[in-house]
Every structure is written in structure tokens, then in C-alpha cells.
Amino acid sequence: MYKLFAIILILFISPNVYAEQGLQALTITTNANGSQDYSVTLQVLAMMTALSFIPAAVIMMTSFTRIIVVLGILRQAIGLQQTPSNQILVGMSLFMSLFIMAPVYQQVNEKAITPYLNESLTSLEALNAAKEPMKAFMLSQTRIKDLETFAQIAGFDKLDKPEDTPFLVIIPAFITSELQTAFIIGFMFFIPFLIVDLVVASILMAMGMMMLSPMIVSLPFKIMLFVLVDGWGLVMGTLAKSFGIGS
């Protein structure tokens, strides 16, 4: 969508503009301290290219992965194949992620976005400043074992502290830790529903009703149990507290 809009915009720009500007719009200026500043055209081009990576960044660098995996396991444990639908689960995970990541986004806004808009930071300096809050959040949720594993794979065997780990090494370690944590939480949610299934299956077998599926009988009881214990509030509260929110 964004790329199509950019192409249409380029087609309707007058050729005289290109004749007047030439290649001056695509410039890189080297500062006295050795840093480099890119022209606005290059910055806009880089930002439009980065838009294609935003979905991957949202999924792999925030709390989204843990939440969507836990909700998927919970739906499977209850026995509801299509309710809530995938769209609802994704929407819940997205807005829950916005709630959990709000303090991190606020730090990014204060340290990177606002100074960049005020022209007190260059684009590269703003990008480096934005990395720090995200890096701190990801390190707080990453297991040391996973961090060491990917650091060794990347060839960083000698790191004094986790904060010295490169950002590209933290990302896969963070994803692995999130999946591990999500499966642990999902397992804890799965156990009560599994017990209900076992009890119902045992009762049906004792009554000689071999041909009746236990899933059909146990489903209403599992839904009733989930509602009685305020299941959604419990699930959302547990997920938030697993990130240190409200604890």
C-alpha cells in the first residue's frame, strides 16, 4: 500500500523538480566528529523500507508472541476450535501488547522520537537511542541460558555482562525465551481442563457410555468452570504480571 502510494507520487511530480534538484537530494554529509548525516530523501526512503519490517518487529520484539501463544493454547485446552476466532485473539494480543509495552514506548518517545523531531538528534543517533529501552526490556525477559547459546553461535564468547550483547543476538534469544515462557504458562492453564476431561471420561466409561465422546460432555463444564473463576481476567492478569506489570 505504502509502496504503491510512493510510486504514484513519483509519477505525478513534475520533471522540472528533478531537473532543478538533480542528485542533490541523495547526499550524505560527514560531520567533524566523523558521524554522517543523510538527506531527508534518504531518510524517507529508509523509513518507507522499514515499514515492511514493522509486523515482524511487533511480533518478535514485543510481548505479542507470548500472549498469542498462551491464548492459542488456552483455546485448545477449552476445546473450542474457532471461538474466539483468530482475528479476536490477534486483536486481544495486539492491544494487550500495547498496554504492556506502554512504558517502553514512552521511553523511546522521550529519548529518541521527540529529540529527533526537535532536530537535537540525527536520524542515526535517534535510532541508537530508541534501541536502548527496547534492549533493556528484551534483556529483562530473556533467559541467560538462551542469551549465552546465541552469543556462542554468533562467536561472542567473551562478554562481560548481558548489556554488552549485540542487538541482533538478543532478538533470537528473546524469541526463544518468550516461546519457553509461553509454553510454561499454557501448560499451567491446560491442567485444570485436562482434569475435567479425565473426570468426565471416567464417569462415561463407568456408565457404559463408550460411544459418547467425552469432549462433547466436558465442553459445557469447562466453559462453566472458566466463567466461574473469572477466567479471562485471570489469564490477562497472569500475562501482565509475567512481564512485571502490576507485581
The per-residue pLDDT for range 197-233, each reduced to its tens digit, is 888 888 878 887 777 777 777 888 888 888 888 888 8
User: Would you say residue 49 lies in a domain?
Assistant: no
Burial class (CB in 10 A: 0-12, 13-18, 19+), 158: exposed
Q: Note the pLDDT of residue 71.
A: 92
Q: Which structural domain range is residue 87 located in? A: 56-243
Identity of the residue numbered 179: L
For residue 22, give the DSSP letter: T
pTM: 0.74
User: In angstroms, rounded to a whole number, what is the distance separating the alpha carbons of residues 182 and 69?
Assistant: 6
| Nearest-10 Cα torsion for 154, 160, 162, 165 | -40
- Model confidence at 158, in pLDDT bands (50, 70, 90)? confident
Residue 11 lies in a domain: no
Examine residue 147 and state whether it is found in any structural domain, yes or no: yes
Cα–Cα distance for residue pair 150/148, rounded to 1 Å: 6
- Specify if 205 maps to a domain: yes
Q: What domain count does the chain have?
A: 1
pLDDT reported for residue 8: 41
170 falls within a domain? yes
Residue 7 lies in a domain: no
Question: Tens of pLDDT along 104-114?
Answer: 888 888 888 88
**Start-end of H helices in the chain:** 2-12, 15-21, 40-50, 54-60, 64-78, 86-108, 114-117, 123-140, 144-154, 167-206, 214-228, 231-242
Query: Which band of pLDDT confidence, cut at 50, 70 and 90, is reported for residue 70?
Result: very high
In a domain, 74, yes or no: yes
* Residue 137 lies inside a defined structural domain of this protein: yes
83-111 per-position pLDDT tens digit: 888 899 999 998 888 888 888 888 888 88
Contact 65, 185 (CB under 8 A): no
**Residue 6: pLDDT over 50:** no
